[in-house]
Amino acid sequence: MTKRPSIQVAPTFTYHFNPIRTGIISTYPEAICSSCNETRTLFYDFYDAVYSKQSTERPTSICAWCVADGSAAKKYSLRFISADCLSSKRLPASVLEEFECRTPTYLSCHSMRWLCHCNDACVFHGDLSKEEVANPNWEAVADFLSEAPAGMTWEKIAEYYVPSDPSIFKFACRHCNAVFYQLDTYRD
Ligand SMILES: [Zn+2]
Ligand SMILES: [Zn+2]
């Protein structure tokens, strides 16, 4: 049976809320995924993939579904993200597996840091929108400002904020619903 790309339902990802909005998964009219050989419409930008020593074959295209179900990571012996970027170094093995092998990364101008909370990786929501900056989570704001240069106020940030210039990323805990904001200038 031929699959109709137009009715393919986009997969969901535990740790990346909407990778189409954040731009790491893109829409194509129709293309073949080198992992599953199916005609697909959503493809992952795997520029950051980390290949293991066992990896022999390199993909030319990876569809969103082969990221979501772990089949591309398995087939090409790769990780889409390294767990080194997680802010917590002690997470359950099942979390690390899903994070590394089934989670789309995000585009960062600097060294990437993925926040963790409640013994789990947080969900990445991408750039705050202008609307979110105008109506923020104030606990996240307090936390954000505690690491910002002295004299910085949220009002000042809100006045000049343009998404991705620079980004203020939003992460949310899957367990306690805590929200965190992170400026895309973090360096180790
Ligand atoms: Zn595929
Ligand atoms: Zn939490």
pTM for the complete prediction?
0.91
Q: What is the pLDDT of residue 2?
A: 54
Tokens, residue 78: 């790769």
CA of 49 to the centre of ligand 2 (A): 28
Average pLDDT, the chain: 91
Strand order in the sheet with 39-44: 25-32, 39-44, 62-63
Q: What is the pLDDT of residue 187?
A: 45
8 Å CB contact between 25 and 45: yes
CA of 106 to the centre of ligand 2 (A): 21
Tokens 């895309």 appear where?
A: 184
CA of 121 to the centre of ligand 2 (A): 9
